[in-house]
Amino acid sequence: MAYRIKCTVSYDGTNYNGWQKQVNQPTIQGQIEASIQKLHNGLYIKTHGASRTDSGVHANNQVFHFDTELDLAPYRWKIAINNYLSDDIYIKKVEIVGDEFHARYDVKKKEYKYYVNLNEYNPLLRDRMHFERRNLDVELMKKEVKEIIGRHNFKSFTGGTIYDNYVREIFDASITINNGILEFTFIGSGFLRYMVRTIVGTLIEIGYGKKNNIKEILMSKNRNCAGKSESSVGLYLDKIWY
């Protein structure tokens, strides 16, 4: 009898070349599949992730599933898989689900967060958030980020991948500041590659006066009109809804 196993995992993406398995490259998926393979006496078991996070991107609640004929209780799966993982990847929750569930195709919405530190540089946080030394008009940035809410063509905010459809729906977008740290929150139906990082980079450039406004950039459908894509270190896949 086959079982479908749904796992929620958190990871520090610093030492990995993203989620997706690649030949001769350390990846999150590769590490997880190697762990699961050991539990199956060397038999390869394919995993399906909800989101293909890029190199250096972190996750609080990434989701993946796999199929197996091993009959283990969820808590035993959690212990067993974690036993073979390094300490920068951790399985938080395991569920046995119906075979109609798919970690990628059943996603209703995702939440990403991005952190920008406006304080003095701290090397201990260099892999956790982006440090910004320029003075920013945070109130203007808070206003401009609201322009991306709704259903839009986000071609201006992606690169490196050609899509059949650049339209995505953003349900909420906000910026908060606490003790000198900006927290960008984006909740949407899905995101194009580099989309969140490019929106953040554009908002930062708006904040120090280099760019004009988000609405014009959206309407241009031109990547050259947007700001640079900020580094991956400040980006976190925070939550997934099904």
**Which pLDDT value is given to residue 160?**
81
Respond yes or no: is residue 54 known to be catalytic.
Answer: yes
Average pLDDT per consecutive 10 residues, the chain (242 residues; last block may be shorter):
97 98 96 98 98 97 98 98 98 98 98 98 96 96 98 95 94 98 98 97 96 94 96 98 98
Report pLDDT digits (tens) over 192-227: 999 999 999 999 999 999 988 999 999 999 999 999
Tell me whether the CATH fold assigned to 3-97 matches the one assigned to 109-241: yes
Q: Which of 12, 54, 99, 106 is catalytic?
A: 54
Cβ atoms < 10 Å from Cβ of 196: 26
**Which pLDDT value is given to residue 103?**
99
End-to-end CA distance of the chain: 25
Domain boundaries defined on the chain: 3-97, 109-241
E strand or H helix at 223, and its extent?
none
Q: What is the CATH number of domain 3-97?
A: 3.30.70.580
Report how far residue 156's alpha carbon sits from residue 225's, in angstroms, rounded to the nearest whole number: 7
**Candidates 3.40.50.300, 3.60.40.10, 3.30.70.660, 1.10.10.60; correct CATH number of 109-241?**
3.30.70.660
Residue closest to 130 by CA, chosen among 11, 230, 12? 230
Residue closest to 74 by CA, chosen among 90, 95, 103? 95
**Which pLDDT value is given to residue 146?**
98
List, in sequence order, the alpha helices (H) in 48-194.
74-83, 138-145
Q: pTM of the predicted model, to two decimals?
A: 0.95
**Which pLDDT value is given to residue 220?**
96
